[in-house]
Structure 1
Amino acid sequence: MTTLTTTVSTPWTEETRFNKTRFIPPDAIFALTAEYLQDPFPRKVNLGQGTYRDGEGNPWVLPSVNRARETLSAQGLNHEYLPILGLQAFREATAKVVLGSELLPSRRLSLSGTGALHLAGLLLRVCQSPLPKIYIPEPTWSNHHQVFSSLGFSCESFKYYDHETRDLDIESYYSTLRNAEPKSIVILHACAHNPTGCDPTKEQWREIAQLMKARQLFPLFDAAYLGFNSGNYDEDAFAIRLFVGEMKMEAGICISFAKNMGLYGERVGCFMLATDTKEAAVNTQSMLEMLQRSEVSNPPAFGAKIASQVMGMKDLKEMWFADMVTMSSRIRSMRKALYEHLISFGAPGSWDHLIRQSGMFGFLGLSPEIVLKLKDDYHVYMAGNSRISIAGLNPGNVEYVARSITQCLKDSS
C-alpha cells in the first residue's frame, strides 16, 4: 500500500502541536540517489542504490516478468482487492520455491503479504513477553534497526565483519550465539549479505544452526536475494532449508521479489512462518491476518499476480531461472572487471576481498574521506561506508570507476 504525505505551512499564529517533532535526516541512500540525479556531469556513476542494471546501465525488465505481464493482460487484468492474507496462489508458490516441495507436507506454514520484516516484528511482539532481544549483524541493512527499534525491541549489534581481514568474522558470530540470551531473535541474511557480500560457508551455517538450536534462539531470515546471488535458487536457499528442514527449527522467513524478479516498485513480499504444530500454524495465521488488516488492510495485487504467474507456470519458471543466471553472471563479470582494473592501475592495498564477496554489493573498505572525494571530484556515487552496487557497473564505466578509486587513493597516500 502506498501513502503519499504532504505537509504545508499555514499563516496561523497559535502554537502548533507539532513544535516538538524533531527533524530526521533523509535516508542516506535515497538522498544519494537524488543528488546523483541532479548532477549534470556526463560520466557520473551511481553505485549507491541496489537496483539491477543491464550492460548499458538501464533498468531491465526480466523476459519472464514481461511474458507474465502479457499473459495477465490477455486474461483481463482487474484491480480488485486481494484477501487480507494476500494472493493464495502467490503464497503457495512462494512456499514451494523457497522451502522445496519435499518440506511442505511435514511443516506447518503461516503466510502473509508485503512488509514482511515489519509484519514479522508485529507478530513476535505479541507472542513473547517480555520482549525478546534482537541480535543484528554489524554492519547490516540500515532498515533492520529502524524496523525493530520502532516496534519497541531492544536491538543489539554483534560483530559480523572484520575490517582488518575484510572477511566474515565467524568466531565473533559463534561467540555471540553462545552467549546470547535464550529465546532471543537473530536476524540472518539468507545469502548475499548486505552490505559486505560475505556469507557463511555451508559448514559454518550448520554450526550456526546448531548453536541457535541449543540456545533456543529464533532465526528470522531476511531473504532478499534468493537466486539473484548465485544464479541458483536452490543453492541460495540452503540456509533456510537447513534450519527448517534438516534442523526442524521454527523460523521466520521474510521473502522479497524486488531483486530476483526486478519488481522493485511493486513491493512484492511474503512473510512465511514455519511452526512445530498445526495449532500454532492456525493461531499465528489468524494473528497475522488481524495484524495485516490493521496495518495495510490487504497487500498490493499486481506484483503478486506477476510473481504467481512466473513461479506457477513451468515455462515461465524456467525463463525466470535463466533470467537470474543472466543477472548474477553479469554482476560476477563486473566484480572481476573492477578487481582486474584496480590491480592493473596499481591501486594501493589488497583487493582480493572483492573476489571473495558475492551478490549485488561490494564492500570496498574505503575511508569516508575517499568516498566523499570520489563523489565530489569524479562524480562516482556510493554509500558512505564504501558499499557499492556492483550492478551499477558496466563495460562503459568500470574502467573509469577503477581509475578514479586508484587516483583518489594515490592522492591521499
Structure 2
Amino acid sequence: MNETSRRGLLAGAAALPVLSGLPAPRSARAQAANTVKIGLLSDMSGPYRDLNGPNSIAAARLALQEMAPRGLTLDLVVADHQNRPDVGVNIARQWFDRDGVDMVLNLAASSVALAVSDLAREKNKVMIATSTATSDLTGRACNPNTIHWVYDTYMLAKSTGSAMVRAGGDTWFFVTADYAFGHALERDTSTFVRNAGGRVVGSARTPFPGTTDFSSFLLQAQASRAKVIGLANAGTDTTNCIKQAAEFGLTRRGIKLASMLMFITDVHALGLETAQGLVCSASYYWDMNDQTRDVARRVRAIAGGDTPVAMSHAGDYSGTLHYLKAVLDMGVAAAKADGRATVARMKAMPTQDNAFGAGSIRADGRKIHPVYLFEVKTPAESRGQHDYYKLLQTSTPEDAFRPLNEGGCSLVRS
C-alpha cells in the first residue's frame, strides 16, 4: 500500500480523535504524551471486509466513547493491510516508531497477526487480536505483549468439528485456505475428528487471497466420498464455497458442509434460503440477551448500514474497552511506557462488558468466555432482521478453549 492511499484510508475511514473533557494540553508534544492512541489494522477491502470493515471501526469507537468521559484523551487510526504480512508489519512499524500508536487491534489474517505480534514484542507495545483465528498466538508463538480475544482454531475445531462427528459425519475432506489460518484450522479440526473416531480422507489447499472459483476443489471433495466437507476458510471464501456447493447439488446428495469459521455476516450475505441448517460456533450473538442487543444497537448506530454485528466486531469493542480500563488503572504515562506491563495488568483484571459478560485472560494471553454452537434458522423460523441463529449447546470457557498446559506457550509455568 503506498503512503497516499494509506493516508486516504486513515482520513476517510477512521481518524477521530475522541476527546475527554479535560483542559487541552499546552503543546502538541504534551498532547501526544497524554493521548492513548489505538491503531485498528485489518482487512478493509478484501475477503474479510464484512466481518471487519465499518462495524469494527464503529465498535472500537464505541469503546472510546464510553471511556473518554473517565479522563482519557483518545485517538483511533485505521489502515488496510490487504491480508499481506509485509504490508501489515510496515504499517504497524510506522505507527509505533513515528505516529505514537500504543496498541494495535483486530489484525484479521493470521499471517499478519503472527508477524505484527513479533513486532509488538520487539517495540514493547500492545497487540490485541480480535479477528484472528490461529491458536498458535497463545501456543508456540505466544509472547507477553499479545492477547487473543474472541475465538481461535482450537475452539472452533472442538465445538463444531466434534459436534459434526457425533451427528454421524465421520469421514472428512477439507477445503483449506493456503496460509497460516487455514493450516491451523485444518490441523486442529483433524485432531478432534480423529479423537472422536472419524477419519480425514483428503484435503485441497486453495490459494489465498484471490480464489473465487472453488469448483475443482469441491469436485475433489465429492470424489473422495467424504460425508463432510470441512471449510477451513472464512469470509467471502466461505460464502463462495457454500454457494458453489449448492449449485453442484452436493448437499442434495447427502454431503454435509461444515463451515469451521462462519460469521453472521456470511449468513447475511448468503441468505437463509441458502444458509439454513448450517452449524457454526460463535462466542457472541447479538440476540442472546438485553446486553448483547444493546452493544449491537449502538455499534450499528455509529456504523450505519445493514451489516449485522458479528463476534469479531464485539471483540473490537470488548478488547478496546478492557485495554482502556487497564490504562486508566495504571495511569497513561505508565501504560504508554511499557506494553508488557499493560498486558500483565489486563491479565490481572477480570473482564466485564455487555458483549461477552464476565471473563478473564490467562497467562498465555487467551481471553476466555463461553462458546455457543448455533444452527442457522430456516426462513420460516426467522422472526425479524438478523434473526438467524438458534442455540444448540453452550460450552463453558474451560471446556471450550485449549487447556493452558497443552499449548506449548513459554509464558506458562509448569
- Which TM bucket (shorter chain)? 0.3 to 0.5
Considering Cα pairs closer than 8 Å and 6+ residues apart, tell me whether 1 or 2 has the greater RCO. 1
Query: Max radius of gyration: which structure?
Result: 1
Q: TM-score, normalised by structure 1?
A: 0.33
Q: TM-score, normalised by structure 2?
A: 0.33
